[in-house]
Chains A and B, each alone.
Chain A
Amino acid sequence: MLHQATQRDARAAILATLGTTLGVALLPAGSYLAYLVVWLGVVTVGAAAGIAPLTLARRGFIALPFVLAAAPLIFIRADELIWSGVLGPLSLSVSGAGLRIFLSAAIKSWISVQVALVLLHRYPIESIVGSLRALKLPDALATGAGLTIRYLDLLRGEAIRMLRARASRSASPVGVGGERIGGSISWRAKVTGNLAGALFLRAYARAGRVEEAATARGASGSLSLGALRNPDPRFALKSLLALAALVVTMAIGAAAPRF
């Protein structure tokens, strides 16, 4: 057995994260007060885990570009019109219902990212993968995820070196003086594809060496990479907290007024 044991049991935290995220998703559209209460709860937990609320809030904006998907609803929906007028050549109207969907999706997305960030800040990714395995994630997926994370930096380093080599051999997008260098689009695509192919061959060779090393050390059968060594004896009790997070979030959503 190839064994990379992780020390911290994140099972209850993972369940609490999923419970809170589900609770946020179930909050009705326009429950802005509920969103505020839930967000205050999230930043409180975050602060207890050592993340400043403003840092957490700022990092939560990572999914912000996706709100563009909901933006057309503000101008397309014809119900609950709150403004209509002419802006230059454009005749525009703003729908209250569309605006509510847009803001609700944006705020829910923002809070959900912060919930996930608190989990990631509190537990190393290896502990999360090990805990997911303990939560019955299939072995092939858990070990695959563990190996992906372990070799991520190594292959990224290879990719960065290959990109640097490409930049110094004329296939770079833009030259030092800002001029375009390199060949046609298809030529640049070919060079990029060559890099990807070369990197796959290195990854393939690396996989062969890892297998040889594992065999040499007596590994056989399943590779339980990322196994949880010290399961928390209070897991069941803590899991109730996950359920409580979901119930409390839903209760806040039911009680809070909607706009």
Chain B
Amino acid sequence: MYPTLHIPDGFLAPQVALAAWIATSVVVGISLRRLNATGRDTSSLTILMGISGAFIFAAQMFNFPVAAGTSGHLLGGVLAGFLLGPWAGTLVMTTVIGIQALLFQDGGLLALGANAFNMGVIGTLGGTLVARGLAATLGGSRAATAFSIGVAAWLSVMAAAGLTTLQLGLSGTTDVSIGLPVMLGTHALIGIGEALISVAALSFIAISAPDLYSSSSSAPAASPARRLVSGIGIAAAIAALASLFASASPDGLMKVAEQLGLLEQSRAPTFELFPGYTVPGLDGPASTAVAGVVGIAAVAALLFALGKFASRRNGA
């Protein structure tokens, strides 16, 4: 079993904890300003936020078995962000993480800035913006929205796990080369549970309270250019995360080919742009991640060009 995402005190270097506190405070300040600028009745929104915090606590009790000995349960960042809006959702999750540290010692007081940043800011604000951006990119239908929430919920868990490990690595209390694959590998499964529960919860709300769902999902429509940029950004983030799992071992087909001696008979191409899915001159996982992002950008550019070509043919 590997640690949860709530970092206790003693594991973060004071400089790292301080930097995370500053980053979280800035985003919380922006969230408060954005909340006041919405023009909504702040007292009714505050009541909803406060009771939603209690909801997040309670909803985290809902678990279901995934495999022997492991169970999935809701973290709720993307769900809160989608239902309450990204800024209010961020404040709710930050409050919940603060109460977890104060009341249940689940995470440290000095580490609170880092925990709130990883799960409240990146997990909720980032996750909700990804969900909305992806939903707009895919056309905004209910199915597209559900898919986007699932992807964003998975990404939010993975991003929080990755950031937690990197902060521990910066503090010198873990080895990132071991911790990152373990944390991301474990949380890839936890993220699937988060995605499934988030999608099911929102689907239930969409059926039971369509007005509430409509008001939550009615984000301003994005322009085609913005959709494209957000789509490429989301794909790049997924590619970069997925590339961290890229194994140095040969895949199944290559292994069979190696055993049959076919690999030696095959000829190497005369020119390789990204040999072995790496960028020449860059080493390690970063090289694979950059190659993945460049690959996605190239495919997106090709699809964009094909789309333009198709619309011109349509108009002709």
Contacts and interface: CB of A to CB of B under 8 A. Distances in A.
Interface of A: 17-18, 21-22, 24-26, 62-63, 65-66, 68-70, 72-73, 76, 101, 104-113, 116-117, 120, 125, 128, 138-141, 143-152, 154-156, 158-160, 162-163, 171, 173-174, 180, 185-186, 188-201, 203-204, 206-207, 210-211, 214, 219-223, 225
Contacts of B209: 201, 204
B62 A128 contact: no
Contacts of A22: 14, 110
Interface in B53-99: 53-55, 57-59, 61-66, 71-74, 76, 79, 83, 91-92, 94-96, 98-99
B50 A101 contact: no
Interface stretch (B135-143, B195-203, B231-239, B258-266): B195-203
A68 B3 contact: yes
B179 interface: yes
Interface stretch (B123-131, B167-175, B270-278, B304-312): B167-175
Contacts of B212: 201, 204
Interface stretch (B38-46, B219-227, B249-257, B288-296): B38-46
B8 interface: yes
Interface stretch (B101-109, B240-248, B279-287): B101-109
Contacts of B50: 143-148, 150-151, 207, 225
B218 interface: no
Given A143-B46, A189-B197, 4 more contacts: A66-B7, A145-B95, A192-B64, A193-B196
Given A148-B99, A188-B65, A203-B51, A196 B46 contact: no
Contacts of B43: 211, 214, 219-223
Interface of B: 1-4, 7-12, 14, 17, 28, 32, 35, 42-44, 46-55, 57-59, 61-66, 71-74, 76, 79, 83, 91-92, 94-96, 98-99, 101-103, 105-106, 108-110, 168, 172-175, 178-179, 193, 196-205, 208-209, 212
A144 B44 contact: no
Closest A-B pairs by Cβ, 8 of them? A193-B200, A147-B50, A108-B10, A197-B204, A148-B53, A109-B10, A189-B196, A112-B9
Contacts of A66: 3-4, 7-8, 11
Contacts of B52: 200, 203, 207
Given A193-B203, A197-B202, A128 B102 contact: yes
Nearest to B73: A192
A190 B168 CA distance: 34
B9 A113 contact: yes
Main secondary structure of the interface of A (DSSP, over half): helix
A141 B94 contact: yes
B102 A125 contact: yes
B48 A196 contact: no
Contact of A24 (B10, B83, B91): B10
Contacts of A180: 65
Contacts of B101: 116
B180 to A, nearest CB: 11
B102 A116 contact: yes
B199 A193 contact: yes
A206 B54 CA distance: 11
Given A159-B61, A211-B47, A149 B8 contact: no
Given A140-B32, A173-B71, A207 B51 contact: yes
Contacts of A199: 55, 58-59, 62
A151 B96 CA distance: 13
Contacts of A171: 64
Contacts of B178: 72, 76
Contacts of A63: 8-10, 105, 108
A159 B61 CA distance: 7
B71 A148 contact: no
A138 B32 contact: yes
Contacts of A148: 50-51, 53-54, 57, 95-96, 99
Contacts of B91: 140-141, 144
A112 B110 contact: yes
Given A144-B50, A155-B54, A194 B204 contact: yes
B47 A223 contact: yes
Contacts of B94: 141
A196 B102 contact: no
